[in-house]
């Protein structure tokens, strides 16, 4: 019977899947059929649990760093982790190596990597109104992990190979931006765009897990209302959330009906005060976060002049904030004000020495001045602090090229192309290797 099922699965392996999988080379076809942890049904799954965990460990640190690292507020981190662990304990995969990370990023987002690394931004925490909503949001993300949604999408060839290799999650980096000193370090994002069916399933599981933890299902309704309300707004700082977790009135209605059926817990508290107490550090600087969001929207609209004003206003409130300083540094670099950019990048590095993105931006500031050797020193320091980012390999190659060290530059470009095959960086690397006669 098993063999029969396996064959059924195998025949569903399309030529496209096969080419895709052979292309990246790391995913063994041997994983084959797997029992789905939620439905108990067998399904084609070309990624084993070990591979999910490995992909997570290779990629999530880069995403977390691109999101300005964990908030420097241990009590807040502990609180979010505590709620997260409770929810994960109710899930279909309680033994995954979950971690619940409260991130300094100000855009509104929550995400899950396939091994259980979950991220929640300062932006989204400020929009939640109580702990039951928080539990629902975490439940939804744990739902994606439990139902193995990233592995499913990878199996179906719906994720580009570049996604798994440290390429940027945002709009593709432009080479002219490298020259302008703006190239992003990118994020090794497995931030898959889930399908509507997967969203529905994650909602269903999220509600089960939060209710299983004893929370009032009204929290789930509150979360859905918040998302429904936001999904109508065309704001850059909301875009990633809805690009990855599609919202719809159908999803909203389905959640309402399901939550309504959970009658037993309706008298449970939603823990509004407890939530507000625990995020009081964030609430105190809410105006600064809103200014950062507005500044990010302006940057995404191509208006660094306006963004600078927002970042300035944020910095009046939080002069030592790592993310605020680093965003301002990037904005000033876009305005070609390298000296002032450097002041903010140095302030950021001092504010959070464990987070390497400031070191990357310092490298970019030097690159912008054509100080290739100093830029290289920073990119090397970055790589020591957080190894494994292909974009960093490209930037080191770019510095070496600027220094006239062709052989070493070629080595870096070649290494970069082993990970990333499209985009402006790849085109640049390929063109140089050709020009120099290496390929």
The contact set with Zn ion (CB under 5 A) reads: 194, 199, 202, 245
Q: How many whole angstroms separate alpha carbon 380 and alpha carbon 403?
A: 15
Measured distance CA(85)–CA(104) in Å, rounded: 21
Minimum CB distance to Zn ion smaller for 139 or for 157? 139
State the nearest-atom distance from the C-beta of 216 to Zn ion, in Å: 21
Question: Which C-beta is closer to Zn ion: that of 67 or that of 321?
Answer: 67
Q: Are 201 and 211 in contact (CB under 8 A)?
A: no
Residue nearest to Zn ion according to CB distances in the complex? 245
Nearer to Zn ion, 71 or 138 (CB): 138
Nearest to Zn ion of 34, 202 (CB atom): 202
User: Which residue, 245 or 344, has its beta carbon nearer to Zn ion?
Assistant: 245
The answer to whether residues 130 and 270 touch, using CB atoms and an 8 Å cutoff, is yes
Cβ of residue 108: shortest distance to Zn ion, in angstroms? 13
Cα gap 345→336, rounded to integer Å: 14
Q: Is residue 270 within 8 Å of 216, Cβ to Cβ?
A: yes
Answer yes or no: are the C-beta atoms of 192 and 245 closer than 8 Å.
Answer: no
Minimal distance in Å, beta carbon 200 to Zn ion?
9
Cβ 120 to Zn ion shortest distance, Å: 13
Say how far apart CA 149 and CA 133 lie, in whole Å. 22
Q: Which is nearer to Zn ion, 5 or 193 (CB)?
A: 193
Contacts of 402 (CB under 8 A, 6+ apart): 367, 370, 372, 375
Residue 207: CB minimum distance to Zn ion, A? 13
* Closest alpha carbon to 297 in 384, 350, 238, 246: 238
Give the CA dihedral 352, 80, 195, 167, nearest 10 degrees.
10
What's the closest the beta carbon of residue 59 comes to Zn ion, in angstroms?
Answer: 18
Torsion of the alpha carbons at 306, 367, 389 and 439, rounded to the nearest 10: 130
User: In whole angstroms, how close is the CB of 319 to Zn ion at the nearest point?
Assistant: 36
Burial class of residue 109 (count of CB atoms within 10 Å of its CB; 0-12, 13-18, 19+)? buried
Q: What is the DSSP letter of 100?
A: E
Among residues 144, 118, 140, which one has the least CA distance to residue 56? 118
**In terms of CB distance, is 113 or 194 closer to Zn ion?**
194
Of 422, 427, 363, 411, the closest CA to residue 183 belongs to: 363
By beta-carbon proximity to Zn ion, the closer residue of 151 and 399 is: 151
Calpha distance 104→124 (Å, rounded): 11
Shortest distance in whole angstroms from residue 192 CB to Zn ion: 9
Q: Least CB distance from residue 206 to Zn ion, whole Å?
A: 9
* Token digits of residue 127: 């929009």
CB 76, min distance to Zn ion, A: 23
- Residue in this structure with the two tokens 């300035």, named with its chain if needed: 312
Three-state DSSP at 117 gives strand
Distance, in Å, from the CA atom of 83 to the CA atom of 132, rounded to the nearest integer, reads 10
Toward Zn ion, which CB reaches closer, 136 or 357? 136
């Amino acid at each position: 019977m098993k063999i029969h099922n396996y064959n059924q699965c195998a025949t569903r392996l399309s030529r496209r899947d096969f080419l895709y999988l052979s292309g990246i080379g790391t995913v063994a076809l041997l994983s084959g059929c797997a029992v789905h942890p939620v439905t108990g049904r067998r399904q084609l799954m070309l990624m084993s649990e070990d591979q999910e965990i490995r992909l997570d460990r290779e990629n999530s640190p880069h995403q977390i760093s691109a999101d300005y690292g964990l908030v420097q507020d241990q009590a807040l981190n502990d609180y979010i982790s505590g709620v997260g662990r409770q929810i994960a304990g109710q899930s279909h995969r309680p033994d995954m190596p979950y971690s619940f990370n409260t991130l300094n990023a100000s855009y509104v987002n929550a995400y899950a990597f396939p091994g259980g690394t979950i991220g929640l931004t300062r932006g989204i925490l400020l929009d939640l109104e109580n702990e039951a909503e928080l539990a629902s949001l975490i439940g939804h993300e744990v739902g994606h992990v439990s139902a193995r949604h990233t592995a499913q999408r990878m199996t179906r060839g719906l994720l580009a190979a570049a996604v798994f290799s440290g390429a940027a999650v945002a709009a593709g980096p432009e080479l002219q931006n490298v020259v302008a000193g703006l190239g992003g370090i990118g994020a090794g994002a497995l931030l898959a765009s889930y399908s509507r069916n997967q969203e529905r399933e994650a909602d269903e599981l999220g509600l089960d897990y939060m209710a299983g933890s004893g929370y009032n299902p009204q929290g789930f309704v509150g979360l859905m209302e918040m998302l429904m309300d936001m999904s109508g707004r065309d704001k850059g700082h909301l875009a990633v959330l809805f690009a990855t977790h599609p919202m719809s009135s159908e999803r909203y209605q389905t959640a309402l009906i399901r939550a309504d059926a959970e009658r037993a817990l309706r008298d449970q508290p939603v823990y509004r005060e407890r939530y507000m107490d625990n995020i009081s550090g964030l609430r105190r600087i809410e105006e600064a976060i809103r200014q950062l969001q507005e500044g990010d929207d302006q940057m995404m609209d191509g208006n660094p002049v306006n963004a600078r004003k927002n970042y300035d206003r944020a910095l009046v409130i939080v002069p030592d904030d790592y993310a605020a300083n680093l965003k301002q540094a990037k904005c000033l670099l876009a305005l070609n004000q390298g000296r002032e950019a450097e002041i903010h990048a140095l302030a950021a590095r001092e504010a959070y020495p464990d987070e390497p993105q400031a070191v990357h931006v310092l490298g970019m500031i030097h690159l912008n001045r054509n100080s290739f050797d100093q830029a290289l020193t920073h990119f090397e320091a970055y790589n020591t602090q957080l190894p494994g980012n292909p974009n960093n390999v490209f930037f080191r190659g770019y510095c070496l090229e600027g220094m006239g060290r062709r052989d070493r530059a070629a080595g870096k470009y070649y290494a970069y192309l082993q990970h990333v095959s499209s985009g402006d960086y790849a085109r640049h690397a390929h063109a140089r290797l050709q020009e120099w006669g290496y390929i």
